[in-house]
C-alpha cells in the first residue's frame, strides 16, 4: 500500500529472509566466517545459535549463495522428522532418488554419493534450520551421519542452526557424544542501538533509490530510540515495527517517521499480539 506512495521498488521491512537485504553486523560476519571455515576445512559439525529473529535463516540463505558449485548442499527446513525421514530428505535435497524405504539402504546410497563427490575433489554439506525442534533420536542420527568419512577427512559437513534451546539440548548428558563433535560454534546476539539505526537505513536504501522517491523516508533519532526500545535489536521485530511505522507515515501523509508514529506502530503490534 505505502510502496507506491513512497515510490519504493520494494517494501523495505519485508519479513521474508531475502539475502539482498542482509545487513552484516560484525557478529553476523563472524558467524558467516565460522560456517565457511567449518565447511571448507571439513570440520564435520558447525552449530550456530541465536534468539528468535536474529537473522539465522537469512544468514543461512546467504551462505548458500557463497558456497559455490564445488560444494553440494542439502537444506532441511523442516527438522521435525524421524531418523529415516531425515535420511530420505537429505538424499532428495542432494538430488538422489532412493529406490527403497530401508534406513540401511539410504545410508549406503548416501555414502556412495559422498565418496563420488569426494573423488571429484568436492565437498557436501547438510544445513538444518530450526534444529532445536529435532527429536533427540533424529539429532543423534546427525552424529551417525558424521561418521561417513575417509581416513583423512569428513565426507559430510553438518550445519545446525537453532535457537538457544539447541545449546541447552546439546548440553544434556545424553547428547554428550554429539556435543563433543561440534568443534565450530557461534552464538548470535541482538544488534546494538547504532547497528539498529544502520540496519534501518540499509533496508530503506536497498528497497529503492532515494533520489526517485516522491517523499524521502527518514527515521529521526526519537523514532530509532523507540524502535530499539521495542525490538532490543532483534531484526524481525525491527522489521515488524518499521513496516507499521511506514504505514502510519502513509496514513499521515509524511515520510518523516518520528517517535509518535513509531509508538502508534508499537501499540498496533502489541494489540495484534
- Whether 21 maps to a domain, the answer reads no
Is there a single domain that holds both residue 159 and residue 203?
no
Residue 129 belongs to domain spanning:
26-188
Give residue 2's pLDDT.
87
In a domain, 20, yes or no: no
pLDDT of residue 214: 61
Say whether pLDDT at 146 is over 70. yes
Residues 39 and 156 in one domain: yes
Which one of 164, 188, 212 terminates a domain? Answer: 188
Residues 113 and 201 in one domain: no
Q: How many C-beta atoms surround the C-beta of residue 201 within 10 A?
A: 16
Q: Are residues 145 and 10 in the same domain?
A: no
User: Per-residue confidence at 11, pLDDT binned at 50, 70, 90?
Assistant: very high
Please compute the mean of the pLDDT values over residues 181-197 and round it to a whole number.
95
pLDDT band at 88 (very low <50, low <70, confident <90, very high): very high
pLDDT of residue 210: 52
Residues 183 and 81 grouped into a single domain: yes
Total domains, the chain: 2
Q: Is the pLDDT of residue 155 over 80?
A: yes
Same domain assignment for residues 120 and 198? no
- Report which of residues 209 and 101 the model is more confident about: 101
Whether 171 and 51 share a structural domain: yes
pLDDT in tens, 89-123: 999 999 998 777 788 999 999 999 999 999 999 99
Average pLDDT on 251-264 reads 95
Model pLDDT for residues 18-43, shown as the tens digit of each residue: 778 888 899 999 999 999 999 999 99
Amino acid at each position: 500500500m505505502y510502496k507506491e506512495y513512497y515510490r519504493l521498488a520494494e517494501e523495505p521491512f519485508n519479513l521474508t529472509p531475502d539475502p539482498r537485504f542482509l545487513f552484516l553486523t560484525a557478529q553476523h560476519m563472524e558467524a558467516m566466517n565460522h560456517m565457511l571455515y567449518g565447511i571448507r576445512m571439513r570440520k564435520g559439525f558447525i552449530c550456530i545459535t541465536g534468539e528468535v529473529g536474529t537473522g539465522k535463516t537469512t544468514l543461512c540463505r546467504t551462505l548458500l549463495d557463497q558456497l559455490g558449485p564445488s560444494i553440494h548442499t542439502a537444506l532441511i527446513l523442516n527438522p521435525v522428522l524421524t531418523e529415516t525421514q531425515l535420511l530420505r530428505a537429505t538424499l532428495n535435497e542432494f538430488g538422489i532418488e532412493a529406490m527403497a524405504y530401508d534406513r540401511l539402504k539410504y545410508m549406503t546410497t548416501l555414502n556412495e554419493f559422498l565418496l563420488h563427490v569426494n573423488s571429484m575433489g568436492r565437498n557436501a554439506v547438510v544445513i538444518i534450520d530450526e534444529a532445536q525442534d529435532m527429536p533427540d533420536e533424529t539429532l543423534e542420527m546427525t552424529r551417525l551421519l558424521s561418521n561417513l568419512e575417509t581416513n583423512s577427512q569428513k565426507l559430510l559437513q553438518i550445519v545446525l542452526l537453532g535457537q538457544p534451546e539447541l545449546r541447552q539440548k546439546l548440553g544434556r548428558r545424553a547428547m554428550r557424544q554429539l556435543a563433543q563433535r561440534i568443534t565450530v560454534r557461534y552464538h548470535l546476539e541482538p544488534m546494538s542501538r547504532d547497528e539498529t539505526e544502520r540496519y534501518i537505513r540499509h533496508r530503506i536504501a536497498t528497497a529503492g533509490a532515494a533520489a526517485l522517491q516522491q517523499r524521502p523516508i527518514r527515521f529521526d533519532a526519537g523514532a530509532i530510540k523507540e524502535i530499539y526500545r521495542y525490538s532490543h535489536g532483534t531484526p524481525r521485530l525491527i522489521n515488524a515495527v518499521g513496516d507499521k511505522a511506514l504505514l502510519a507515515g502513509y496514513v499521515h501523509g509524511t515520510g518523516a517517521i518520528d517517535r509518535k508514529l513509531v509508538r502508534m506502530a508499537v501499540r498496533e503490534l502489541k494489540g495484534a499480539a
